[in-house]
Amino acid sequence: MKQNLQCLRCGCEINHIKRQKLQLGQTDWIFGDLPNLFAGAMEVDIYSCPDCGKLEFFLADAREEGLPQRRCPKCGKQHDFDYPRCPFCKYDYN
């Protein structure tokens, strides 16, 4: 269930690019890539803004289940809780 999301920077609707596994861990000069094998990977959905080029990453499972929502005290519309400002009226939560 993909939702329409807006760019936090410019407000344009962002597009889903693809689902990708990001490698966790790091290479080591002594053990090489061995730490990467044990660290595993994190699956994310990658979104891109066609206007400003900003990329946003969401945990793959979290986007399908839907992120928790909050209601803006200014305009009353619901949106994902992780936005620092309302994507509709630009109310700043900070």
pLDDT tens for 36-81 read 666 677 788 899 999 998 998 888 775 455 567 788 999 998 887 7
pTM exceeds 0.85 for this model: no
Q: What is the CB-side half-sphere exposure of residue 41 using CA atoms within 13 A?
A: 9
Closest CA to 85 of 4, 2, 11: 11
Average pLDDT, the chain: 80
User: Using DSSP, how many helices (H) and how many strands (E) does the chain show?
Assistant: 2, 6
What pLDDT was estimated at residue 26?
73
Q: Is 25 exposed, middle or buried (0-12, 13-18, 19+ CB in 10 A)?
A: middle
What pLDDT was estimated at residue 71?
87
